[in-house]
Amino acid sequence: MMKPAPTLWFSIHDFNDRYPGTEPSFIEPSSFAWSKDLAAQVHLIKQELGAYLQKHQLDGYFNKAMVNNRNSWKTIALKTWSVELFRNQKAFPQTTALLNKYPEIVSASFNLLEPGAHILPHSGDTNAIFRCHLGLDIPAGLPACGFRVRDEKRAWENGQWLIFIDAHDHEAWNDSPNPRYIFLLDVMRDEFKAKQTFVCSTVLTSLFLQKRAQTFKFLQKAKPATVRFLSATLRPFAAAALWFSNTLKLF
């Protein structure tokens, strides 16, 4: 008997703050063509990041409440929820070429976790994607530097993937004296590929509201019905903005 497909879930629509899905915490990397391809080219990905860091710094993640020390989690994105960031991609041509081979990859970014940084426990935006970490410069293993999904802890390894269900409760920390670098991807799960635009525009709407809530505190106390109304109203605009930004190469 075939296992029923999971129900599409978004954190912005669930006020219990806990994903109810039963998928395993971590996913075997070897079952994906993209994971093999990018892991085989990890030296090129790391080389392009190194060249970028010689002249630039990464930016602090926008949601400051998710980390214990302000700006200790830093990133540069090449694409975010299907929005192509063409200006950033110019600094990473070989990495971008690899990404463009796989349309199911909807987000890609380099992530730095400073010494002493802790990304606090949280659930991701949706169960429609696998979140994927490729180790680039891992300063230590457990317990000093690691990652937890639900009740399972793992350490990153250079050149290896950690692939997990982002909707599950998770956290990350780096208590070593050196920075930790990974390459992060969001990859559409097969069950939800037909809804890729809907998923990305919904999450973009959620991120927009999260960012606005840092300035307009009343949004943090909004009732579920109000948040759902705002999400449903804004999502078509997010879908249109996604198409225009990619077509006109705005970013």
**Tens digit of pLDDT for each residue in 208-235?**
887 766 655 555 666 677 777 888 888 9
User: Are 6 and 127 a contacting pair, CB within 8 Å?
Assistant: yes
Q: Is the pLDDT of residue 75 over 90?
A: yes
The predicted model gives 150-174 an average pLDDT of: 95
Average per-residue pLDDT in the chain?
90
The predicted model gives 178-202 an average pLDDT of: 96
pLDDT at 5: 65
Q: What percent of the chain has pLDDT over 90?
A: 71
d(CA 15, CA 18): 8
The predicted model gives 82-105 an average pLDDT of: 97
pLDDT digits (tens, 9 = 90+) for 28-73: 998 899 999 999 999 999 999 999 999 999 988 876 677 787 778 8
pLDDT at 14: 76
Place of tokens 């806990």: 18
Rg of the chain over all Cα atoms, to the nearest angstrom: 18
Confidence of residue 7 (pLDDT cuts 50, 70, 90): confident
The predicted model gives 195-216 an average pLDDT of: 83
CA dihedral 120, 113, 49, 148 (to 10 degrees): -50
User: Are 186 and 134 a contacting pair, CB within 8 Å?
Assistant: no
* DSSP reduced 3-state for 169: coil
User: Are 69 and 119 a contacting pair, CB within 8 Å?
Assistant: no
Judge: domain 23-192, CATH 2.60.120.330.
yes
User: Are 103 and 193 a contacting pair, CB within 8 Å?
Assistant: no
pLDDT at 2: 43
Place of tokens 């950690």: 162
196-215 vs 224-248: helix crossing angle, rounded to 10 = 110
Q: What is the DSSP letter of 232?
A: H
Check residues 102 and 213 and name the one with the higher pLDDT. Answer: 102
* Residues in the chain, total: 251
Q: CATH 2.60.120.330 spans which residues of the chain?
A: 23-192
User: Are 251 and 245 a contacting pair, CB within 8 Å?
Assistant: yes
Q: What percent of the chain has pLDDT over 70?
A: 91
The predicted model gives 151-170 an average pLDDT of: 95
Q: What is the pTM of this model?
A: 0.91
Q: What is the DSSP letter of 168?
A: S
Check residues 69 and 198 and name the one with the higher pLDDT. Answer: 198
